[in-house]
């Protein structure tokens, strides 16, 4: 079983502890604090060799080493470096190790900063401070230097993002920015006006020095201390909400901050602004009042649903920051950023549960309406496609019928041509022409009708009969020709009509490039079908009858007007329409 000394976390004194299976796990310190050997054996201390604050295991005794420089850190010689200081509050004297950071006074329970008290004891013993510098931490906004009596010629060191302000009798005098200053008369003009400074370097003057941290202090947490009762405009219900977040803060006016907030206090830390769970922060009440009031106003004014409030956190944060900065500017402070990171909803509140159910039903109704609208639009689009398809099928069917009619007419024409060519080939093979075949057919028809040579007998009678027959044949041929002439004209006209019909069935071509149009308008551009030009031999009457071909109108009997034709002059000018030549002026000769 080994023994070692362990430092009391409360008073900084050392007590004896043991290692091993039967060793005590808890030791009572003389200050009344119960030391837990298992947990309190880990301690932090400033290494006397490298100057770093390190953590080490006290149970290792003298074998404990600094993890930075590797030198012994828990030897008896180090532990014996004790210093006698006085309590800052009651003034009682006591001995404490230099390695501890703080020490609780056993008389008044005041927590003393050991390093600060040792420095003051040293100055009291050795003389005045010759170097004035900041010795606070990063979370401190205002730090007062513990020394108040300075010798003339001391060095003042101000780091970046800092300011140093000299005070005398509660009045802020000279202000120094970043740099190194020698305290001389020309450096302290305001202090020189208060009292006469000595001119020798060994003289002293009494003043207070405050260091102000101008850097932005980040990540200060805030939260409402109670629920805020709000009215939800979308559902018409009242619910209770809470809010929390973080903000950053910085000093913008050192003199105003010292005069209105710090006063005679020595330190201003960030936890003093909002409080660390004790509700005693300087600005806690102001922040709570602003957050509670503005959240209720914003939700009601902007008609924001509590279920959708997370979408508006950035706008709420920006508005709250501007409101809070209006109050903080009077104290020389500013919040560059203020964030509402979370709004706590009351999930156990019956009103909130009904609100969520109501919102869900409303969402489902809106969704169903959207689905019905989409279905109606799809049905309308489907009907439009079906109508377009049907119209196109009709056009295709009409084109198919026209093609079939054209093919039928072409087949009939080909059949007739082939029959005529066969008959012509047959007649050529038999050695007679079409006229001879026609004469033969006419003769046969005449004989069938009783036409003969007469009652005479013998060869003369036959010849006479043959002459009569030939004469009759000639007359019959003439009659047949006259009879066949109208039929031929009718067939010709019928062929023209069939050709026109077939041509009409083929459709007409538009100027835009669309071919095969069947109606009176182009299927592509909507242009009207061109009308056929009137024959130059036709004329239109004043009564309205158009396309007349005769000399008189068949509707009113009016005579066709004379056509004024042009005439050619001997000078070479052609198509003159007046009585005189348009070129030489010569009069027309009738």
3-class SS letters over 48-79:
CCCCCEEEEEHHHHHHCECCCCCCECCCHHHH
Q: Are 165 and 212 within 8 A, CB to CB?
A: yes
pLDDT at 163: 92
In a domain, 18, yes or no: yes
pLDDT at 533 over 70: no
151 and 231 in one domain? Answer: no
Residues 198 and 226 reside in one and the same domain: no
Distance CA 398, CA 392 (A): 10
446 lies in some domain: no
Instruction: Check: CB of residue 249 under 8 Å from CB of residue 272.
Output: no
The pLDDT of residue 444 is above 80: no
Query: Both 159 and 228 in a single domain?
Result: no
Answer whether residue 464 is part of any domain. Answer: no
Same domain, 204 and 241: no
Count CA atoms within 13 Å of residue 423 on its CB side: 9
* Residue 84 DSSP SS3: strand
On whether the CB atoms of residues 81 and 99 are closer than 8 A, the answer is: yes
Q: Is residue 112 part of a domain?
A: no
In order of 183, 292, 474, 535, the CA distances from 283 in angstroms are 36, 14, 139, 105
Q: Tell me, what CATH number does 271's domain have?
A: 3.30.479.30
Domain with 269, as residue range(s), is 217-346
**Strand intervals (E) in 274-366:** 333-344
User: Do 146 and 250 reside in the same domain of the chain?
Assistant: no
Are residues 291 and 221 both part of a single domain?
yes
Confidence of residue 488 (pLDDT cuts 50, 70, 90): very low
Q: For residue 448, what are the contacts with CB-CB under 8 A and spacing of at least 6?
A: none
Beta pairing, strands 333-344 & 237-251: antiparallel
- What would the two tokens of residue 330 be? 């009077």
Are 202 and 239 within one domain? Answer: no
Same domain, 204 and 243: no
| Cα 60 to Cα 37: distance, rounded to the nearest angstrom | 12
Which of 302-334 are b and which e, b meaning 16 or more Cβ less than 10 Å from the residue's Cβ?
eebebbebeebbeebbebbbebbbeebeebbbb
Instruction: Provide the number of structural domains found in the chain.
Output: 5
- Sign for the CA dihedral angle at 427, 428, 432, 434 comes to positive
Distance separating alpha carbons of residues 165 and 327, to the nearest angstrom: 24
Kindly state whether residue 223 falls inside one of the protein's structural domains.
Answer: yes
Give the span between the Cα atoms of 120 and 379, in whole angstroms: 92
Confidence of residue 196 (pLDDT cuts 50, 70, 90): low
Does residue 448 form part of some domain? no
Q: 10 with 104: CB under 8 angstroms?
A: yes
Domain boundary among 167, 193, 213: 213
- For 227, other C-beta atoms within 10 Å of its C-beta total 15
- Is residue 565, in this structure, part of any structural domain at all? yes
> How far is Cα 262 from Cα 282, in angstroms, rounded to an integer?
11
Q: Give the integer Cα–Cα distance in Å for 491 and 498.
A: 10
227 and 337 inside one domain: yes
Last residue of a domain, one of 187, 213, 239: 213
Q: Looking at the structure, do residues 335 and 277 belong to the same domain, yes or no?
A: yes
The predicted pLDDT at position 517 comes to: 82
Higher pLDDT, 529 or 436: 529
pLDDT band at 504 (very low <50, low <70, confident <90, very high): very low
The pLDDT score that the predictor gives to residue 477 is 44
Cα-Cα end-to-end distance for the chain: 160
Range 379-401 average pLDDT: 86
Confirm whether 15 is domain-assigned: yes
Whether residue 302 sits in one domain with residue 234: yes
Q: What is the pLDDT of residues 40-95, one digit of tens each?
A: 788 877 776 665 777 878 777 777 888 877 777 776 555 556 678 888 888 888 77
544/457: higher pLDDT = 544
Q: Which of 80, 107, 138 is the last residue of a domain?
A: 80
Q: Please count the residues of the chain.
A: 590
Kindly state whether residues 170 and 260 are assigned to the same domain: no
């Amino acid at each position: 079983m080994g023994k070692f000394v362990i430092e009391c976390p409360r008073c900084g004194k050392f007590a004896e502890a043991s290692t091993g299976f039967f060793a005590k796990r808890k030791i009572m310190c003389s200050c009344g604090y119960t030391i837990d050997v298992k947990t309190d054996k880990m301690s932090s201390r400033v290494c006397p060799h490298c100057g770093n604050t390190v953590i080490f295991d006290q149970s290792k005794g003298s074998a404990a080493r600094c993890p930075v420089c590797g030198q012994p850190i828990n030897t008896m010689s180090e532990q014996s470096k004790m210093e006698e200081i006085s309590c800052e509050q009651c003034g009682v004297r006591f001995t404490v190790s230099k390695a501890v950071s703080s020490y609780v006074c056993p008389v008044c329970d005041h927590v003393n900063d050991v390093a600060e008290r040792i420095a003051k004891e040293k100055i009291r013993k050795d003389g005045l401070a010759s170097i004035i510098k900041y010795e606070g931490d990063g979370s401190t906004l205002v730090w007062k230097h513990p020394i108040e009596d300075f010798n003339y010629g001391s060095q003042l060191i101000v780091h970046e993002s800092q300011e140093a302000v000299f005070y005398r009798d509660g009045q802020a005098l000279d202000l120094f920015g970043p740099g190194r200053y020698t305290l001389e008369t020309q450096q302290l003009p305001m202090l020189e006006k208060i009292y006469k400074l000595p001119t020798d370097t060994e003289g002293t003057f009494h003043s207070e020095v405050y260091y102000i941290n101008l850097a932005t202090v980040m990540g200060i947490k805030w939260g409402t201390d109670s629920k805020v009762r709000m009215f939800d405009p979308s559902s018409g219900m009242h619910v209770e909400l809470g809010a929390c977040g973080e903000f950053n803060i910085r000093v913008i006016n050192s003199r105003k901050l010292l005069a209105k907030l710090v006063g005679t206090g020595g330190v201003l830390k960030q936890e003093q602004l909002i409080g660390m769970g004790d509700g005693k922060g300087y600005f806690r009440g102001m922040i709570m009042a602003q957050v509670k009031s503005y959240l209720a106003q914003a939700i009601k004014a902007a008609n924001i649903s509590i279920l959708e409030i997370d979408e508006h956190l950035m706008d709420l944060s920006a508005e709250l920051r501007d409101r809070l900065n209006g109050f903080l500017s009077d104290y020389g402070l500013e919040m560059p950023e203020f964030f509402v990171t979370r709004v706590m909803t009351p999930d156990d509140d019956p009103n909130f549960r009904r609100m969520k159910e109501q919102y869900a039903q409303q969402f489902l109704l809106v969704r169903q309406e959207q689905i019905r609208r989409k279905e109606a639009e799809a049905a309308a689009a489907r009907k439009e496609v079906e109508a377009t398809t049907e119209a196109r099928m009709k056009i295709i069917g009409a084109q198919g019928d026209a093609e079939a009619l054209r093919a039928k007419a072409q087949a009939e024409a080909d059949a007739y041509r082939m029959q005529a060519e066969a008959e012509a080939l047959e007649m050529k093979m038999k050695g007679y022409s079409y006229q001879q075949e026609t004469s033969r057919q006419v003769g046969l028809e005449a004989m069938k009708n009783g036409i003969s040579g007469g009652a005479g007998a013998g060869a003369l009678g036959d010849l006479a009969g043959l002459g009569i027959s030939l004469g009759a044949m000639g007359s019959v041929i003439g009659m047949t020709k006259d009879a066949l002439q109208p039929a031929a004209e009718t067939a010709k006209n019928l062929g023209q009509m069939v050709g026109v019909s077939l041509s009409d069935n083929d459709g007409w071509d538009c100027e835009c490039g669309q071919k095969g149009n069947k109606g009176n308008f182009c299927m592509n551009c909507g242009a009207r079908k061109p009308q056929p030009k009137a024959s130059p031999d036709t004329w239109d009457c004043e009564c309205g009858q158009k396309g007349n071909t005769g000399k008189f109108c068949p509707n009113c009997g009016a005579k066709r007007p004379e056509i004024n034709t042009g005439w050619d002059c001997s000078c070479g000018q052609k198509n003159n329409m007046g009585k005189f030549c348009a070129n030489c002026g010569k009069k027309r000769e009738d």
